Homo-oligomer: A and B are copies of this chain.
Amino acid sequence: MDMVNFDERQILANGEIIYRQRAEIEAIADSICDVGFDLLLFTSSGGSQAMLDPFAFYIRHASRLPVENILSAELLLGGCNRITNRTVAFLTSKSGDTAETLKAARWLKTQGVRLVSVVGQADSPLEKLSSDTVVYGSGRPQELVFYLLIGRILHRSGCFAEYPRFADELKNLAFALAQVRKQADAKCRQYALDYCREPYNIWIGSGDLWPTAYSYSMCVLEESQWIRTKSVSSPEFFHGTLELLEKDVCTTLLLTEGPTRALDERVREFAARHTQKLTCFDTRDYELPGISPEFRPWLSPVVMAAVLQRISKNLEQITGHSLDIRRYYRKESY
């Protein structure tokens, strides 16, 4: 059977939209390094924040550069005490008009913070507030913008010597992720068939894949399929949620190739003994043609997003519940 809702040419074209802006993106990074900074701040809302969080994680693991990541709603209420006029903030929003993100941008501007925004729509309110903007339009994956931006900043700071080769190979990223989708589809379709009616789903991940476990369960399964979930990080699973495991409790574990992999493997070993409904999605299982093995630890979030997208596409078709239906989101005011 053909893969549901899969268009490889479109995926490649969407990658190209971002990659062809490489020089402009790297120029923003260079300018940030030339001017200097005392904090790199990642702030947005919901799924957008989850997309940003791994980049704060990479900076912490690869360097001693000062970094914070915090939801815009919490930032606005005093959640970060390191902001100065030498801070550089990275914000992202598909629409460029997410209310809390925009409010945070306005407040940061009053503090003299340099705003770098990454948005889907040109000429959005967020772009108007920002010193630097990358518009990705229908470009995918958006993470590619940040691999180039943050990778280059790390390189310029002496913490990522191999970056130029990494950036060259990122030309192949969209193609590699299309191949991941093909490798993952059969397993993901079966997963969707088996578990689309489960009353409760535990999702587990860690490190650079914790934001993926958190946001896929919340922003896709809950928001667009109305499926009940609980997400918990791999280390925290052992401080409570483990007690819920029984042989028929649907449990999904994401395994990263990043530094926290051992935490995920510990969950796998335990959960395999206590539920018959354990599914492990492991980025290591997928070939990435055109990407050197040494760079794989940076790419777990985009590889996993490609895998999980195949669950979404199949789920939507199997349940007949479009990914675009909402009860409340952007339909009611609140």
The interface of chain A, by Cβ under 8 A from chain B, is 45-47, 57, 59-61, 63-67, 71, 73-74, 77-82, 100, 199-200, 206-207, 215, 218-219, 222-224, 226, 228-230, 232-233, 235-236, 238-245, 259-260, 262-263, 266, 269-270, 274, 326-329, 332, 334
Contacts and interface: CB of A to CB of B under 8 A. Distances in A.
A55 to B, nearest CB: 14
A223 B224 CA distance: 29
Nearest to A238: B334
A244 B259 contact: no
A274 to B, nearest CB: 7
Contacts of A64: 81-82
A236 B218 contact: yes
Contact of A266 (B207, B238, B239, B334): B334
Residue among A223, A244, A266 with most chain B CB within 10 A: A244
A71 B235 contact: yes
A42 to B, nearest CB: 14
A239 B47 contact: yes
A64 B244 CA distance: 41
Contacts of A262: 77
Copies of this chain held together in the complex: 2
Nearest to A210: B74
12 contacts: A60-B78, A61-B79, A64-B81, A74-B206, A74-B207, A74-B235, A74-B260, A77-B207, A222-B240, A238-B329, A243-B328, A245-B327
Q: Which of A61, A100, A218, A224 has the most CB of B within 10 A?
A: A218
B100 A79 contact: no
A275 to B, nearest CB: 12
B259 A78 contact: yes
Contacts of A59: 81
A55 B269 CA distance: 34
Given A199-B199, A242-B329, 8 more contacts: A60-B80, A61-B81, A64-B82, A67-B81, A73-B235, A200-B228, A224-B243, A245-B327
A291 to B, nearest CB: 23
A239 B218 CA distance: 8
Residue with the highest number of chain B CB atoms closer than 10 Å, among A74, A274, A327:
A74
A238 B236 CA distance: 24
A267 to B, nearest CB: 9
Contacts of A79: 57, 60-61, 207
Closest 9 CB pairs of A and B: A46-B239, A73-B235, A218-B240, A223-B240, A270-B334, A60-B81, A219-B240, A222-B240, A61-B78
B240 A228 contact: no
A274 B243 CA distance: 30
B263 A239 contact: no
Contacts of A45: 235, 239
A223 B245 CA distance: 10
